[in-house]
Amino acid sequence: MLTIPATIAEAMIAHARELAPHECCGILGGTHGDVSAHYRITNILATLSEDELERFDAPKLSDLKQLSPEERADIAFQMDSQEMGKALRDIREKELMLQAFYHSHTMSPARPSQTDITIAMEFEGYREKLNLPEPLHIIISLLDAASPDIRAYRIHNGEATEVPITRS
Ligand SMILES: [Zn+2]
């Protein structure tokens, strides 16, 4: 289970709304499933080269190549690695732990896409070298604009399992 203070949940929704129709992304820190720190991270997908896009699953890749950088950012995300490093250092300095990564879906439900699962599995491949705990993956869906949906998942061995969220 993951507990998110209402102020942080509202800040994540505000971030998603500000960036829409682009996807926003960020990091949550805390202790033992209690979130207490929120970091907005820049979505750099719009600046990736064609080679870097090869990581994306085939059906989505063919779509991505036909899109402008701005359009690409509407349907996927990648966190700026420097900002990510800075947020993770701040989490350590506060004696907190990484709890979750989040991103928004502006036009689809709060469920991981195949690309989301691919990105999460890539991160799993080098996470231990970074000495980080396994993060949950949160998706904020703006599909119902009046009432955004926030859901968390554990992504393990290519499978996403929902983890309940409590707002405190
Ligand atoms: Zn996604």
Which CATH number does the domain housing residue 83 bear? 3.40.140.10
- Is there a domain that residue 27 lies in? yes
C-alpha closest to that of 121 among 22, 72, 55: 55
pLDDT of residue 15: 96
Query: What is the residue range of 150's domain?
Result: 2-45+73-167
> Ligand 1 center to residue 111 CA distance, Å?
7
User: Considering its fold, how many domains does the chain have in total?
Assistant: 1
> Ligand 1 center to residue 163 CA distance, Å?
16
- Is there a domain that residue 8 lies in? yes
- Is there a domain that residue 93 lies in? yes
> Ligand 1 center to residue 75 CA distance, Å?
8
> Ligand 1 center to residue 138 CA distance, Å?
9
pLDDT of residue 150: 98
- Is there a domain that residue 151 lies in? yes
> Ligand 1 center to residue 48 CA distance, Å?
17
Local confidence pLDDT in tens for the 168 residues of the chain: 999 999 999 999 999 999 888 899 999 999 999 999 999 999 887 566 667 766 666 656 666 677 776 666 666 788 888 999 999 999 999 999 999 999 999 989 999 988 888 889 888 988 989 899 999 999 999 999 999 999 999 999 999 999 999 998
